[in-house]
Chain A
Amino acid sequence: MKQPFFFAIAVLAVAVATAGCKKKETAGQDNSPAGSQTPDKPAAPSAAKSGIKIGLVYDVGGRGDKSFNDSAYRGLKWAETELGVTIREVEPGEGSEREAALRQLAAAGHDLVFGVGFLFTDDITKIARDFPKVKFACVDYTVPDDPSTIPSNLVGLRFREHEGSFLIGAIAGIITKVKTVGFVGGMKIPLIRKFEAGYQAGVKHVCPDCKILSAYAGTTGKAFNNPNKGQELALSQYEGGSDVIYHASGKTGDGVFNAAKEKKKWAIGVDSDQFHVAPCCVLTSMLKRVDVVVFDTIKATVAGEFRNGLQEFGLAEDGVGFVYDDNNKDRLSQDVVDRVNGLTKKIIAGEIKVPFE
């Protein structure tokens, strides 16, 4: 007697659950002012429409992370206003939604589709083969064993984060008053290890007897989304004597900044300028110019000069760097900045080799 009832509610539960997943994609679309399906929102582009359509799928953390994804978003918006391209963004949830989002954008007639984050590597390579007429770009692409297998319509955009992190390490090594600095990483993978290795080398370069406390939040993707864990790791490092902590851990870093506020110690941001997350306590941030690289890739595509394969961006290409502006100029003396700029020149000239593992 209860059977049909039970069945109905099971169907309802599944429908509700999937509706929850579907809707956030819709929300993503609604949010892109020039989305093809939503002409009711005013289109902003000042430049003439180029007719080129760009799709972009965000990494774990999504837009509003004040870090990696937001940097990609800035590049996308920049291209929209400057080049007049039509943009569409998707914030996927977990796992297979990433692949579905890429496939959907490719099938919907976009000229260039971005996957933001190393997690896209396998999916985007596969989908690039399935859609040979669409161009694909993957930020933080993991290099396959045989780079010649990269499809001709895919560009892997890579950064030499270790070079930027080396400068950050040098700054931390100079600033620390107690010769102890910290590092908080998200998930323990080669990509994040690059940040740590560069940072360690930078600290040791300016302060050979400095101690570096180092910790990771976890061994799964959740490690980039666990601010409570990040806060405990950072508190432990501050209590263990460090007075500067550099993080490379996505939203987990929110907890690091919160710990810095509580302990009134320095924290260093990553990917974007994170000064505004904790104005009291952000010394500087390691900039990873995902925005510039996304913009340049779109610009090249619009001009018909899309290049496939691997592209690397380090200090020489202005792909990485550190923040020095009005907000933090009283925190970094001219002397510090001069020293760090000297190091930059040496790295570009090849006089300093920065390790990445």
Chain B
Amino acid sequence: MGEFFASLFTIAFVAQTLRITVPYALAALGGVMSERSGVINIALEGILLTGAFTGAVAAYESNQYTLVGYEPNPIAAAVIAGALGGVLIAALYGLVVITFKADQIVAGVAINLLAAGLTRYLLKLLYDSASNSPEIPGFETGIFSNPVFWLVVLLAIAAYVLVWRTRWGLRLRAVGDHPEAAHTLGITVNAVRWQGVLASGALAGVGGAWLALSVRGFVENMSAGRGYIALAAVIMGSWRPQWACAACLLFGLAEAVQIKLQTYSIGVPNELTQMFPYILTMITLAGFIGRSRPPQALGQPYDSD
């Protein structure tokens, strides 16, 4: 018992919590961008997975070649490719739900299935295995000296400023709450929604690249439900970037504590401890923690005709 409590007050524990939190937080920030504009984003899971895949491929391939005497940095390549991969799959999602106004829940689930199948298929084509990539270059340093971590911190601050302190953010929130009013004021509703969805793809895609870089490789379905946890964090943080990040930190903390509980075999059944993040999610969804008010036009396609 003493060992368990002692382990909670170490730098290693803080680092572990943050490592677990990063992909949640990036996906949740993406979720806020999209949902604030009025587009539900169940597809976060698929975007994470796609970002992990494109990130892993970029890290691996950039390590194989020299571009006209210049050696690309595989980690930077992975982060950029992760964001691009996320943007691509988010664009497909945007096309279906914004341009063609399909049901957002159904389309989101379809994107997740597509991402799971497509990454396996492409993996097989590229590396002759549907289950994992070859080893890729990954993070060499602890989290506090990892530039990608600080990039993520910057992204989180930027997301907050963008959504709450800029004209763009005001428009984003306006089309999510009162699209007709925004339209009357001369804002092109669907154009702003497109921006929200694409930003969501870029952010969650980087989260995927983080997953792959952390373990030096891509494994099929390695997002392992993190996109759904992030979605819960968006709701728990009442669609505000800073609170969504805080919720992610709480989930990360819960998972890290759960790992320590297992490590020191405290007599809590591990089925129970593993349920903790999900129980928190359900309590939030049931509305027991404050009132979480969604953007008013969330899930409603906007027809300008």
Instruction: Please give the residue numbers on chain A whose beta carbons come within 8 Å of chain B beta carbons, in ascending order.
Output: 1-2, 5-6, 9-10, 13-14, 16-17, 19-21, 23-24, 27-28, 31, 61-65, 69, 91, 93-94, 188, 213-216, 218-219, 222, 225-233, 235-237, 239-240, 251, 254-255, 258
Contacts and interface: CB of A to CB of B under 8 A. Distances in A.
Interface in B113-167: 113-114, 116-118, 120-121, 124-125, 127-132, 138
Contacts of A21: 113, 117
Interface of B: 3, 7, 10, 12, 16, 19-20, 23, 95-96, 100-102, 106-107, 110, 113-114, 116-118, 120-121, 124-125, 127-132, 138, 211, 214-217, 219-222, 224-225, 255-256, 259-260, 262-265, 270-271, 274, 303, 305
A250 B298 CA distance: 40
Contacts of B219: 225, 227, 251, 254
Nearest to B132: A64
Nearest to A5: B100
A28 to B, nearest CB: 7
A307 B113 CA distance: 40
Contacts of A1: 305
B117 A233 contact: no
Given A64-B129, A69-B131, A216-B270, A236 B100 contact: no
B132 A254 contact: yes
Dominant secondary structure at the B interface: helix
Given A216-B262, A228-B23, 9 more contacts: A2-B303, A9-B100, A21-B117, A27-B125, A225-B221, A231-B215, A233-B262, A235-B12, A236-B263
A215 B132 contact: no
Contacts of A239: 7, 10, 12
Contact of B131 (A61, A233, A237): A61
B101 A20 contact: no
Given A13-B96, A231-B215, A236-B16, A20 B114 contact: yes
A2 B23 CA distance: 37
A29 to B, nearest CB: 11
A188 B271 contact: yes
A17 B101 CA distance: 18
Contact of A17 (B117, B129, B215, B225): B117
B131 A65 contact: yes
Contacts, number: 155
A24 B221 contact: no
Contacts of A64: 127-132
A322 to B, nearest CB: 24
Contact of B211 (A62, A222, A228): A228
A215 B220 contact: no
19 contacts: A13-B96, A13-B110, A24-B120, A27-B125, A64-B127, A65-B131, A65-B132, A93-B120, A213-B263, A214-B262, A222-B224, A222-B225, A225-B221, A225-B222, A228-B211, A232-B19, A236-B260, A237-B263, A240-B263
Contacts of B305: 1
Contact of B214 (A61, A94, A228): A228
Contact of A251 (B10, B16, B131): B131
A91 B260 CA distance: 35
Most chain A CB atoms below 10 A, which of B120, B121, B260, B263:
B263
A13 B262 contact: no
Contact of B3 (A2, A9, A240, A251): A240
B259 A232 contact: yes
A176 B12 CA distance: 22
Label chain A's interface by main secondary structure: helix
Contacts of A69: 131
Given A214-B265, A227-B215, A240 B7 contact: yes
A197 B31 CA distance: 43
A270 B287 CA distance: 45
Most chain B CB inside 10 Å of its own CB: which residue of A2, A31, A222, A232: A232
Contacts of A233: 259, 262-263
Greatest chain B CB density within 10 A among A14, A235, A236 is at A236
B5 to A, nearest CB: 13
A31 B222 contact: no
Contacts of A31: 124, 128
Contacts of B138: 258
A6 B117 contact: no
Nearest to B258: A215
B121 A24 contact: yes
A232 B131 contact: no
Contacts of A9: 95-96, 100, 102
Contacts of A235: 12, 16
A45 B271 CA distance: 48
A13 B121 contact: no
Which of B106, B121, B130, B216 is packed against the most chain A CB atoms within 10 Å? Answer: B130
A219 B276 CA distance: 13
A20 B131 contact: no
B116 to A, nearest CB: 7
Contacts of B224: 222, 225-226, 228-229
B158 to A, nearest CB: 25
B121 A20 contact: yes
A225 B271 CA distance: 18
Nearest to B52: A228
A230 to B, nearest CB: 8
Nearest to A278: B135
Contact of B102 (A10, A63, A255): A10
A251 B256 contact: no
Contact of A20 (B102, B106, B117): B117
| Interface pairs A-B: 9 shortest CB-CB | A64-B129, A20-B117, A62-B131, A215-B262, A9-B100, A227-B215, A226-B224, A27-B124, A251-B219
Given A2-B100, A17-B117, A228 B215 contact: yes
A231 to B, nearest CB: 6
